[in-house]
Chain A
Amino acid sequence: MVKVSLDHVTKAFGSVKAVQDVSVGIGEGELFLMVGPSGCGKTTALRIIAGFYKPDTGSVRFDDKEVNDLPPYKRNTGMVFQNYALWPHMNIYDNVAFGLKIRKVPSSERVDRIKRVLDIVRMREYAERFPNQLSGGQQQRIALARALVIEPSVLLLDEPLSNLDAKLRVEMRSEIRRIQKELGITTIYVTHDQSEALAIADRIAVMNVGCISQVGTPREIYQYPQNPFVASFMGEPNIIDGRIDTINKETGLVRVRIDEKLVLEGRLPRDLSSYTNGDKVSCFIRPETILGNEQSPQRFQVKVLETSYQGQTEHYSFELPDGRVLRAIGFNPSGHLVQVGETMTIELPAEKVMVLKQ
């Protein structure tokens, strides 16, 4: 088990900077998620760690050893590819055995380890099959087994679930976390799916145009985004722009003037030193926080424009007095909470309005 660290790593393809000055440390046994929109550089970063790309500048270290010049086949990482990359001319057993044969593991031990890893991914009875005889989810398990069986120092997962259907995705992600925690392997997992990241990560790095925007636990990332990109990438918040009116440095609360009539009270991020009166800011309000019942003094009269029942949740569009539209989500609605056209009062507790500099 190793720690992985990237130190000011940059990688460009032609004029496109895929990864820009990325520094991050991943701890032993940690399940570390890299998340971001497509083209944000997360896969490139992963492939740099695997050794498929050499960084232009900066260094990659496993524990304290720099591995920049180590080719991929000497890094002892186990990678799961997005399309699984199972070798079609080998059966499942041979696919899994490949890494052990390369490592010249004696055959009796090899058999044991393959059996064990196939048990872990619950695929023992499929050893004789060929990849094209397995479903996507099964192939995914085999790809995982093939990477795990060599007992890699680092497990690398490149969008491992993106080819599975929604239900299987949810099932497999907790499966991956279970296995990862059971074996305690340092794991770096790349995905574009923010809910996947929130659900399983120990820590998350949110990436945007080649840079890391923020690193933190799922809770920190979701509840305390440090910039507008992270706030809007994680979830689908309502965004209202305005200027800072007054700041309360003690509580971190802030009053934001939206327009002539409307002033919103919200909270600044933990590090508020760079904020001053008159700054242009955006207020981020998560739809699921709007229909709370917290006796907040910040209340608005709204008109219900639209409702959409979705089983677990119900989605609403509300019109504020100045014509702005707010989206809100209610959970597990047993009956109709509101009717289209009616007027109602909503609460926007200042604690739930995240104010971030544009």
Chain B
Amino acid sequence: MTGFRLRSFDSKAFTIFLAIMIFFTIFLFYPIAYVFESAFVIEGKITPAFFLLLFSDQFLTQSLTNSILIGVMVTVFTAVFSLPLAFLCVRYNFPWKTILQGLLLVPLVMPPFVGAIGLKQIFARYGSLNLLLIDLGLMNPRNPVDWFGGGFWGIILIEVLNLFPIMYLSIAAALANIDPCLEEAAESLGAKGFALFRKVTFPLTFPGFFAGAIIVFIWAFTDLGTPLIFDFSKTIPAQIFSMTQDIATNPMGYVLTIVALLVSVVALLAVKRYVGLRSYEMLGRGHVSRREKTLTGWRARAAMGILIMVVGVAMIPQISVILMSLAGKWFQTVLPTQYTTRYFSILLTHPVAGPSIFNSLFYSVLSTAIDITLGFVIAYMLTRRRFPGRDLLDSVAMMPLAIPGVVIAFGYLAAFSRTPLNAFVNPVPLLIVSYAIRRLPYTVRAAYAGFQQTSVYLEEAAMNLGASPLRTMRAITFPLILANVVAGGILSFSAAMMEVSDSLILAPQDQYYPMTKAIYEVNNRLSDGPFVASALGVVGIIVVAICFLVANKLLGRSLGELFRAG
């Protein structure tokens, strides 16, 4: 008894389905297929020759190892931090919890590589931390510690700090969704304390845990900006980036792109297979009442202390970026010795930085419009129509979650080079589409949840009273799911504003730079480069933070669940 349908074969729905599939074919399958072809076909024959070349090149195999190691370590560290934190926040009440929990999400408002700029100022060989230790006589000024371990550990550090909120949100959502009966049943059978946690609670969080883990892994594994800031080029994304220079002649860029895609997809499939993730389950289900204990006395203070500490550490990159944007003079001292708003006024007249703000806003608004439209239509099709290919549409719409930005960006650059969409001529259309397609799952999910929560009977009641399907959509369905659609759109928008790999790879000319690319380029300039870049970063932080606040208001607790994979 689902929905209104007069014909047994819904030809209208099928037509829309075909149109959407054509869009995906052009902008998702074709570029990837193009990369595959370039990597595997030499003079019309399929051969693994280039692929084997990869494994004979020590530099590239080292890059692959590094990238996988970075992905795995970041995932493990974020998990180790997030699990106790999520358990503490979901199961216990203590003073200031709401505010502190909100602050835990602050790292999400900035892409890791921007934080890396600030972090360098703090943790570099002659950065704030070492200078402070030298001042205190705890470190030899001749031989300060290299906290970044040549860049490798710096990358891991910044990514852990930046990505742990995603892991935290996933685990917290999973914990909050555990039906209390399941634990009570175990307790009634005698399980308690750590045994209860290990045998019942922890396994029940696996779906959420792995959903967060896979996003963190793919993100860290394919993060392009951070290695570039640390001048650590021995990673797959950095190599892909440098190979865009000779994209027409060097097949290795294609091979590396395929490797990045394969590792991500295999990781995702493995996780899916292991926990049997179901895509929409979490958003659709009503939340159960939780078992929250209120902490008092020293326990409450300890809980607050832990959270304040985590928030403090997690915000070091943000704070240092903000400090840098305001630092009139900050050289060989722990903190800036002078403060200024000069860098912000520079932004207004800067030939690259200023326009990049408008470029980013322009691209993001358009990509969000695409996401909202497509997200609404796809969610409508999935929830309200029956047509052949429904399951296919479902999985295709979620596919971009598993496809790293570098893969899409490299694919676009290569596949459309001989078409009117050539990014070397004008990258705007491809930038907008790449932003849109990567964040489409957010709006599809948000709208899907809205449709699911809105009973079909509400629509039927309108039609029964004489409203045409279009009028029903306008008067009933759309107003009812508006909050979801807007929230999903805002997330897409902020993600587009922060997008790194597409931006770095797809925009070669400076008049088209989006903000992230401008930050990267400006940072490379000598003298005040990093400071102007930080100021630009702060502008981005403010825009994205506002977006998050609004989305959070609209979506409430389901915000965290939008970050899940699957």
Within 8 A of B (CB), among A72-114: 72-74, 76-79, 81-83, 85-89, 98-99, 102-103
A103 to B6, CA, bound (A): 23
In the assembled complex, the CB of A54 is this many whole angstroms from the nearest CB of chain B, namely 5
Closest chain B CB from A22 CB (angstroms): 17
Contacts of A83 in B (CB 8 A): 455, 457
Counting CB contacts under 8 A, is B468 at the interface?
A: yes
How far, in whole Å, are A260 and B342 apart by their CA atoms in the complex?
Answer: 112
A26 interface hit (Cβ, 8 Å):
no
Cβ of A150 under 8 Å from chain B: yes
Q: Is the CB of B464 within 8 A of A73?
A: yes
Asked whether A34 is an interface residue with its Cβ less than 8 Å from the other chain, the reply is no
For A72, the chain B residues whose CB sits under 8 A away are 4, 460, 463-464
Neighbouring B residues of A303 by C-beta, 8 Å: none
B316 at the A interface (CB under 8 A) = no
Residues of A within 8 A of B4 (CB): 52, 72
**Cβ-defined partner of B460 (8 Å) among A76, A78, A85:** A85
Q: Taking the complex as formed, is A146 at the interface, i.e. its CB lies under 8 A from any CB of chain B?
A: yes
* Other-chain residue from B7, B455, B465 in contact with A78 (beta carbon distance below 8 A): B465
Residues in chain B near residue A81, CB distance under 8 A: 457, 460-461
Once the chains are docked, how many angstroms separate the CA of A352 from the CA of B560? 67
Q: How many residues of A contact B (CB 8 A)?
A: 32
> A89–B479 Cα gap in the complex (Å)?
8
Give A354 to B59 CA distance when docked, in angstroms: 93
B468: chain A residues within 8 A (beta carbon): 73
- Say whether B475 contacts A85, CB under 8 Å: no
Determine whether the beta carbon of A150 is less than 8 Å from that of B466.
yes
Q: Is A292 at the interface (CB under 8 A from chain B)?
A: no
Which residues of A from 126 to 159 have beta carbons under 8 Å from B? 146-147, 150, 156
CA distance A170 to B252 in the complex (A): 78
Is A333 part of the binding interface, using a Cβ–Cβ cutoff of 8 Å? Answer: no
Task: Chain A residues near B464: list those with CB within 8 A.
Answer: 50, 72-73, 77-79, 147, 156
Q: Report Cα–Cα, A85/B464, bound state, in Å.
A: 11
Pick the contact of A102: B5, B460, B465, B469 (CB < 8 A): B465
The residues of B that contact A147 with a CB separation of less than 8 Å are: 464-465
- CB <8 Å contact, A102 and B471: yes
Among the listed A43, A89, A146, which residue makes an inter-chain contact with B465, where contact means beta carbons less than 8 Å apart? A146
Residue of B nearest to A146 (CB): B465
Whether B263 sits at the interface, judged by CB under 8 Å, is no
Q: Are B461 and A87 in contact (CB under 8 A)?
A: yes
Instruction: Check: A71 CB closer than 8 A to any chain B CB.
Output: yes
- For A103, the chain B residues whose CB sits under 8 A away are 466
Residues from chain A with Cβ under 8 Å of B319 in the complex: none
Q: State how many angstroms separate the Cβ of B5 from the closest Cβ of chain A.
A: 8
Q: Is B462 an interface residue (CB 8 A)?
A: yes
A89 CA / B474 CA spacing, docked (Å): 13
From B455, B457, B467, B475, A73 is in contact (CB under 8 Å) with B467
Type the 1/0 row for B479-491, where 1 means its CB is closer than 8 Å to any CB of A: 1100000000000
Closest Cβ–Cβ distance, residue B461 to chain A (whole Å): 4
Contact call A102/B457, Cβ cutoff below 8 A: no
Contact of B6 among A47, A71, A89 (CB under 8 A): A71
Contact partner of B466 (CB less than 8 A), chosen from A50, A73, A87, is A73
Interface presence of B191 (CB below 8 A): no
* Min CB gap B127→A, angstroms: 54
Which residues of chain A are near B461, meaning CB under 8 Å? 79, 81, 85-87, 146
- Give the residues in chain B near A73, CB-CB below 8 Å: 463-469, 472
CB–CB B467/A52 < 8 A: no
- Which residues of A sit under 8 angstroms from B467, Cβ to Cβ? 73, 98, 102
Task: State the CA gap A147–B468 with chains docked (Å).
Answer: 16
* Contact among A69, A78, A85, A98 for B457, CB-based, below 8 A: A85
Q: Tell me the bound Cα distance from A43 to B1 in angstroms.
A: 10
Chain B residues closer than 8 Å to A79, beta-carbon distance: 460-461, 464
- Which of A74, A89, A99 has a CB less than 8 Å from the CB of B480? A89
In Å, the complex CA distance between A340 and B261 comes to 80
List, in ascending order, chain B residues with CB within 8 A of A88's CB: 458, 480
Q: Is B476 an interface residue (CB 8 A)?
A: yes
| Interface residues as binary, A4-18 with B (CB distance below 8 Å gives 1, 0 otherwise) | 000000000000000
A52 touches B480 (CB 8 A): no
* Contact A150-B458, Cβ < 8 Å, known A71-B6, A72-B4, A89-B480: no
Q: Tell me the nearest residue of chain A to B3, going by C-beta.
A: A52
**A54: B residues at CB distance < 8 A:** 6-7
- The answer on a CB contact under 8 Å between A99 and B457 is no
Cα of A81 to Cα of B465 in the assembled complex, Å: 12
Q: How close is B388's CB to chain A, nearest CB, in angstroms?
A: 15
Would B458 and A85 count as touching, CB distance under 8 A? yes
Whether B465 and A98, one on each chain, are in contact in the complex, defined by CB atoms closer than 8 angstroms, is: yes
Interface residues of B in 426-472 (CB under 8 A from A): 455, 457-458, 460-469, 471-472
A308 and B185 alpha carbons, distance in the complex (Å): 37
Q: Separation in Å of the B233 CB from the closest CB of chain A? A: 55
Q: Mark A54-78, 1 if CB is under 8 A from B, else 0.
A: 1000000000000001011110111
The minimal Cβ–Cβ distance linking A171 to chain B, given in whole angstroms, is 24
Contacts of B6 in A (CB 8 A): 54, 69, 71
Bound form: Cα–Cα A89–B455 in Å:
13
> In whole Å, how far is B311's beta carbon from the nearest beta carbon of chain A?
37
Name the distance in Å between B296's Cβ and chain A's nearest Cβ: 36
Can you spell out 24 A-B residue pairs with CB atoms less than 8 angstroms apart?
A43-B1, A44-B1, A50-B460, A50-B464, A69-B6, A72-B4, A73-B465, A73-B467, A73-B469, A73-B472, A74-B466, A78-B464, A78-B465, A79-B460, A81-B460, A87-B462, A87-B476, A88-B480, A89-B480, A98-B462, A99-B465, A102-B465, A102-B466, A102-B467
Using CB atoms and an 8 Å cutoff, list the residues of chain B in contact with chain A. Answer: 1, 4-7, 455, 457-458, 460-469, 471-472, 475-476, 479-480
Q: Give the 8 A-B residue pairs with the shortest CB-CB distance, closest first.
A: A99-B465, A85-B457, A85-B461, A102-B466, A79-B464, A72-B463, A73-B463, A81-B457
**Beyond known contacts A73-B472, A78-B465, A150-B466: 10 more, CB 8 A cutoff:** A43-B1, A72-B460, A73-B466, A73-B469, A79-B460, A79-B464, A82-B457, A99-B466, A102-B466, A147-B465
